[in-house]
Amino acid sequence: MASRRKKPSTLSGTEQEDFLAAATRLHEACCRPLLRTDSDHYRALRDLNQSICHSIRVITGHDPEWMRLPPPEARARFGAKE
C-alpha cells in the first residue's frame, strides 16, 4: 500500500513570491476599471480586492508593498497630515 504524502501547512518562499506576484496583478485588475461606486460590479471588485489584501497579509505576514504608507518625510512632501 502506498503511503500518503504529508502536505505542508505553509507555502515555500518561492511559492509565496509567486502568489504575491499573481495577487498583485489581480489587485491591479480590480482597481483599473473606473466604475460608479453604487454599481454591483464596483462592490464585487472592492470585496475581491479586500479579500486579496487579507490573503496576502495571512500568507506573507505583512501588508503588500502597494498598501504600505511611505515614510513620514515622504508623506510630508505631498502635504499629508500626520
pLDDT in tens, 46-71: 999 899 989 999 999 988 877 777 77
* pLDDT at site 15: 94
pTM for the full predicted model: 0.69
The helix/strand/coil state of 20 is helix
* pLDDT at site 78: 65
Say how far apart CA 66 and CA 56 lie, in whole Å.
11
- Whether the CB-CB separation of 27 and 53 falls below 8 Å is answered with yes
Sign of CA dihedral 82, 43, 31, 34: negative
Which amino acid is located at 51 in the chain? S
Q: Cα 69 vs. chain centroid, distance in angstroms? A: 14
Average pLDDT over residues 13-42: 90
